[in-house]
Structure 1
């Protein structure tokens, strides 16, 4: 799995960019929100990535923020939403706007995204209402270690309520890896 790419931006052909990493050019599909944050061609970039493997292709998706990658990975688990559709959703909505639309059951806002009809929007709301909450996957929280611990628990499949309860029970000054370990112990009932 390719989890992060750092290198020189050598091409921008929306939604695809090319990043040179020690002489190897990686083509990466990015949402528009990430594209707008990129430097000019020739600048240094660092992206969180997700590798999608299909029968006919290996496609690398890149995100400026870890929260966008988490949202992307959550979206592609919804029946009827593939990587390209998830990329389109994140191109039109910020992670917090998406979370707000899901929590408020705003079908009209969700259907503005390319490839999302009414039934898919309803399915998104049904399947994601426990996984998306405004500010939960934001990496700009004051305590990023706690936010990283929370995001790790969400990525492991715990719902937002139980993950938040576990994170609140761990000490504030704990490292990320120790915090994840303690939170998992709390969630498994061993603490």
Structure 2
């Protein structure tokens, strides 16, 4: 079983990441929370993993922390909850927020997760609270007593992300794209301006 991967981040979106480990590229499903912790492509990364094996496929999931991986395990143990819904929950709340939400029996808060209706929210609360009661050793490190769980704001694609995607779609390599966009953070810049500057660096007219 693959417990963790340590290597170089090749590429990432808000739901997946590719990590190069000694020349082998591993594609992993990730939560938005984990995506927010990743370095830029080319950076060193360590992800804790879980593998789902089915008759037609093997899928690897990656997590920024052991606590997030443990919470993922607890979520998929709930009847009717698969990996994709578990990642949606972890993209909406941090591990500590989710733990606090469950212990407070806040089914309305749980129902804010995309794809989770009232009945599913109630089932998640009921089964997770029972699991937490049995597993007293699991208390996420980011739990704050009395904390009110608020959904994690969805990260909107930045101008730099849009410009990178556009350059890649034009056929430029990831390395060329990173060099062309180096030094820009995308703040207060339009995608068109970034593309124009990048294309000039690449020796092309905007």
Same fold (TM over 0.5): yes
1:86-141 deviation digits (Å, cap 9, x = unpaired): 00100110111111111111111101112211111111111111333899432469
Tell me, yes or no, if structure 1 residue 97 matches structure 2 residue 97. yes
* Cα RMSD after superposing both structures: 2.0
Distance in 2 between residues matched to 1:111 and 1:78, nearest whole Å: 15
Local SS of the residue matching 1:101: helix
Tell me, yes or no, if structure 1 residue 2 matches structure 2 residue 2. yes
Runs of 4+ in 1 over 4 A off after TM superposition: none
Tell me, yes or no, if structure 1 residue 64 matches structure 2 residue 64. yes
Structure 1 residues 77-96: aligned runs within 5 Å: 77-96=77-96
1:130-178 deviation digits (Å, cap 9, x = unpaired): 333899432469xxxxxxxxxxxxxxxxxxxxxxxxxxxxxxxxxxxxx
Distance in 1 between residues matched to 2:96 and 2:132, nearest whole Å: 9
- Measure how far apart 1:50 and its partner are: 0.4
Q: Decide whether aligned partners of structure 1 residues 97 and 132 sit closer, same or farther in structure 2, where only a CA change above 3 A counts.
A: farther
Tell me, yes or no, if structure 1 residue 75 matches structure 2 residue 63. no
Paired positions, count: 141
1:64-86 deviation digits (Å, cap 9, x = unpaired): 11000000001001011000000
CA contact (8 A) 2:111 2:117 kept: yes
Local SS of the residue matching 2:9: strand
Local SS of the residue matching 1:47: strand
Aligned position for 1:50: 50
Aligned position for 1:185: none
The equivalent position to 2:140 in structure 1, one of 122, 138, 141, is 138
CA contact (8 A) 1:9 1:18 kept: yes
CA contact (8 A) 1:19 1:27 kept: yes
Unaligned runs of 5+ in 1: 142-191
Q: Decide whether aligned partners of structure 1 residues 92 and 140 sit closer, same or farther in structure 2, where only a CA change above 3 A counts.
A: closer
Aligned position for 1:109: 109
Distance in 1 between residues matched to 2:98 and 2:45, nearest whole Å: 25
Q: Which has the larger radius of gyration?
A: 2
Q: Decide whether aligned partners of structure 1 residues 35 and 97 sit closer, same or farther in structure 2, where only a CA change above 3 A counts.
A: same
CA contact (8 A) 2:96 2:141 kept: no
Normalising by structure 2, report the TM-score. 0.64
Aligned position for 1:128: 128
Structure 1 residues 143-162: aligned runs within 5 Å: none
1:1-45 deviation digits (Å, cap 9, x = unpaired): 111000000011331110000110000111111111111100000
